[in-house]
A and B are shown apart, each in its own frame.
Chain A
Amino acid sequence: MSRRRSRWLELVLVIAVLTVVGILVNNLAVNLIRTGLGLSFQWLWQPAGFVLSEHSLPYESGDSTAWALLMGWLNSLRVIACSILLATVLGVGAGAARRSFNPLLRRLAALYVGSIRQIPLLLQLLFWYFVAFLGLPSEPLAPLGALIRLSNQGIGILGLNISVEFAAVLMGLSVFTGAAIAEVVRGGLDSVPRGQWEAFRSLGLAESPGLRLVILPQALPAILPALSSQYLNLAKNSTLAIAVGYADLYAVSDTTITQTGRAIEGFLILLLSFLALNLLINGGMQVLNRIMLLPGQRN
Chain B
Amino acid sequence: MTVGMTRRRSIVSLFTACLAITACANLGESDSSRVDLIRNRGELRCGVSGKIPGFSFLQRDGSYAGLDVDLCRAFAAALVGDADKVEYRPLTAPERFTALKTGEIDLLSRNTTFNLSRDAAGGNGASFAPVVFHDGQGLLVRRDSGIRSLRDLQGQTICVGSGTTTEQNLNDAFQSLGLPYKPIKYQDLNQVVAGYLQGRCKAMTSDRSQLAAARSGFEQPDRHEILPEVLSKEPLAPLSSGGDQRLADAMRWVVYALITAEEMGITQSNVDAKLQEARDNPDLTQMRRFLGVEGDLGSKLGLSNDFVVNVIKAGGNYGEIYNRHLGPTSAVPIPRGMNQLHSQGGVLTSPPFQ
Task: Name the one of B25, B93, B122, B191 contacting A23, with C-beta atoms under 8 angstroms.
Answer: B25
A27-B29, A36-B122, A263-B97 in contact; A61/B184 too (CB < 8 A)? no
A49 touches B22 (CB 8 A): no
A35 touches B123 (CB 8 A): no
A24-B21, A152-B199, A243-B186 in contact; A263/B101 too (CB < 8 A)? yes
B125 touches A152 (CB 8 A): no
Near A by CB (< 8 A), chain B positions 109-151 give: 117-118, 120-125
Near A by CB (< 8 A), chain B positions 131-176 give: 157, 159, 162-165, 167-168, 171-172, 174-175
- Chain B residue with minimal CB distance to A54? B182
A53→B184 CA distance, assembly (Å): 6
A23-B25, A258-B163 in contact; A165/B184 too (CB < 8 A)? yes
Please give, as numbers and ranges, the residues of chain A lying within 8 Å of B15 by CB-CB distance: 16
A244→B198 CA distance, assembly (Å): 13
Near B by CB (< 8 A), chain A positions 23-42 give: 23-24, 27, 30-31, 34-37
B242 touches A49 (CB 8 A): no
Please give, as numbers and ranges, the residues of chain A lying within 8 Å of B29 by CB-CB distance: 27, 30-31, 34
Number of interface residues of A (CB under 8 A): 43
B198 touches A134 (CB 8 A): yes
B167 touches A255 (CB 8 A): yes
A36-B242, A50-B171 in contact; A134/B11 too (CB < 8 A)? no
B242 touches A24 (CB 8 A): no
Q: Does A127 contact B (CB under 8 A)?
A: no
Please give, as numbers and ranges, the residues of chain A lying within 8 Å of B187 by CB-CB distance: 242-243, 251, 254
- Chain A residue with minimal CB distance to B186? A245
B94 touches A257 (CB 8 A): yes
- Chain A residue with minimal CB distance to B3? A2
B195 touches A134 (CB 8 A): yes
A263→B175 CA distance, assembly (Å): 26
A212→B147 CA distance, assembly (Å): 59
Please give, as numbers and ranges, the residues of chain B lying within 8 Å of A24 by CB-CB distance: 21, 25
A261 touches B124 (CB 8 A): yes
Q: Does A213 contact B (CB under 8 A)?
A: no
Question: Could you pull out 7 A-B pairs where Cβ atoms are within 8 angstroms?
Answer: A16-B18, A20-B22, A35-B241, A50-B183, A52-B183, A53-B182, A261-B118
What are the 4 closest A-B residue pairs judged by CB atoms, nearest first? A36-B121, A134-B198, A261-B123, A258-B163
